[in-house]
Structure 1
Amino acid sequence: MSGDPDRRPWTAQVLTLFPEMFPGPLGMSLAGKALEKDIWGLETLDIRGFARDKHRIVDDTPSGGGAGMVMRADVLAAAIDTARQGRPDQVGREAWPLIYFSPRGRVMDQALMRTLMAGEGVTLICGRFEGVDERLLEGRAVVEVSLGDFVLSGGEIAAMALIDAVVRLLPGVVGAAETLSEESFEEGLLEYPHYTRPQIWEGREIPEVLTSGNHGKIRAWRREQAERLTRERRPDLWARYRAGKSD
């Protein structure tokens, strides 16, 4: 059962042409155990089930010409409206964030995951082909988000990434709360380097400070390393971190 008895399981609704892809990796490891414990829930809706013809066609040629096919607004709208109705014992689904995965969208980050975790659930639209009819995005107030600056064959992999990132933040999923607070992006920095035994491996030693037993020096070293790595590898994050410090 959920770690908080007063909280209903956080739920991910996934609208997809390939419901058999789920739960996939989400059924394993931490996310899988949390799914078994009812800490979160997963629902999939087959978009083809809302097609209006016997051939279950969900796409059509792009208006104005061009390559590829476009997913139809009427079919997707029917799927979204059904998903938002939910079961009789569930209310408020119409207020859940409605997300479509697109290279045009806001790049997913830890702040978004924490915002989604604080709600009761999310409805995810996994597109295929060249994309979806723009009128659907406007007519259903869909928020576009992106996994990164590259193109996937569909939104399913991005949906799995988003769900996994949110689920691990839910109470009762990760054992030690401090594990989450020290991860990359939580304080605007990349995470510091990690080491474990053996003390020497292929001539490389664990930094002496980490075996000193001086927790103050260890904390200072880790902060120094996190800042160094962020400055070197993610100047965009470093600039935002410095701006936040200035404010």
Structure 2
Amino acid sequence: MLHFDVLTLFPKIFSSFLEESLIKKSIEQQYLKVDLVNYRRHGRGKHLQVDDTPYGGGPGMLLRIEPIAETLEEQKKKNHAAGLETHTVLLTPQGQPFTQAKAKQLSRCKAVLTLICGRYEGFDERIRSLVDEEISGGDFICLGGEVIAMTMIETISRLVPNILGNQESTERESFTQSLLEYPQYTRPASYEGMDVPKELLSGNHKVITEWREEQALVRTKKRRPDLL
């Protein structure tokens, strides 16, 4: 079973995501498990404060180390008691970009994948010492890490056997072979002057395969030459 622990201040954000489509089905069939853990319960003071102003001044508020450190330790003990290791990922724009290759690597991980979602201006720097790696969703800034966590859960889980109906689908799509996926078509064969390429209608598997390989290369050169 693929198991995620998600440390977040806003677990309700995940409600619809976990209750729809293949994610819901995978959870019900016990191929996937997602535990949402609110680290505010380890906040400080009457109001369970989890953030504070940065030393040296500056805009915004930073997440304090104690709520995250204590929540993470709590989850590690829980996993250890169940005979499971924990692999902790800090979701931050400063991390390594999340790629299909990284998703494939993490899909083979036997440990509980623990994703730490930030909020506000950022993290106390010492939080980085608590994690195994840092991952970024891309060169952009979100309000928090929850959207990136959902992206990672969906991307990683669909690579696990039994979760996606046709596993062959994951072997031919974009980025799997360092190329974008070739163009695809379905019925009708012609629509307002736009026709399906004759190669795909030929019934000749060799011709179809060669056309797809050529088109994947052409598309990648045009749209994402950095992949080549």
Q: Give TM-score, length-normalised by structure 1.
A: 0.88
Q: Deviations over 1:145-202 (max 9, x none)?
A: 1111110000000000000001111110112221111011111110001100011111
- Percent of pairs identical after alignment? 41
Q: How does 1:61-210 map to 2 (within 5 A)?
A: 61-86=53-78, 90-93=82-85, 96-120=86-110, 121-138=112-129, 140-210=130-200
Deviation at 1:44, TM superposition (A): 0.9
Residue of 21, 36, 52 corresponding to 1:44: 36
Letter in 1 for 2:158: R
Q: Please name the residue that 1:243 is paired with.
A: none
Cα deviation for residue 216 of structure 1 reads: 0.5
* Further displaced range: 113-122 or 57-66: 113-122
**Distance in 2 separating the partners of 1:24 and 1:125:** 20
Q: Is the 8 A contact 2:89 2:131 kept in 1?
A: no
Structure 2: gaps of 5 or more residues: none
2:8 aligns to what?
Answer: 16
Check the 8 A contact 2:90/2:131 in 1, yes or no.
no
CA distance, structure 1, for counterparts of residue 44 and residue 142 of structure 2: 27
Aligned-pair CA distance for 1:26: 3.3
Paired with 2:200 and 2:182, the residues of 1 have a C-alpha distance of: 12
- Are the aligned partners of 1:101 and 1:155 in contact in 2 as well (CA < 8 Å)? yes
Aligned partner of 1:235 in structure 2 is: 225
CA shift, 1:142, in A, is 4.2
Residue 11 of structure 1 aligns to a residue whose secondary structure is strand
C-alpha separation between the residues in 1 aligned to 2:34 and 2:166?
24
Distance in 2 between residues matched to 1:77 and 1:87, nearest whole Å: 15
CA contact (8 A) 2:87 2:113 kept: yes
- Structure 1 runs of 4+ off > 2 angstroms? none
Provide the rounded CA distance (Å) in 2 between the counterparts of 1:132 and 1:184. Answer: 33
Aligned mate of 2:45, from 30, 39, 53: 53
Task: Give how far 1:51 is off.
Answer: 1.2
2-structure distance, mates of 1:87, 1:229: 45
Task: Report the equivalent of 1:215.
Answer: 205
Cα offset, 1:88, TM superposition: 6.9
Does the residue aligned with 1:227 lie in a helix, a strand or coil?
helix
Matches of 2:70 and 2:199 in 1, distance apart?
Answer: 60
By how many angstroms is 1:23 displaced? 3.9
Q: Distance in 2 between matches of 1:142 and 1:58?
A: 22
Instruction: Map Cα deviations across residues 42-84 of structure 1 (whole Å, 9 max, x no partner).
Output: 1011111011322100000011100000000111100111111
Unaligned runs of 5+ in 1: 1-8, 239-247
Query: Could you say which residue in structure 2 is the equivalent of 1:5?
Result: none
Q: Report the AA paired with residue 125 of structure 1.
A: I
TM-aligned CA distance change 1:100 to 1:88, over 3 Å: closer
Structure-2 residue corresponding to 1:242: none
CA RMSD between the two structures: 1.3
Q: Is the 8 A contact 1:11 1:41 kept in 2?
A: yes
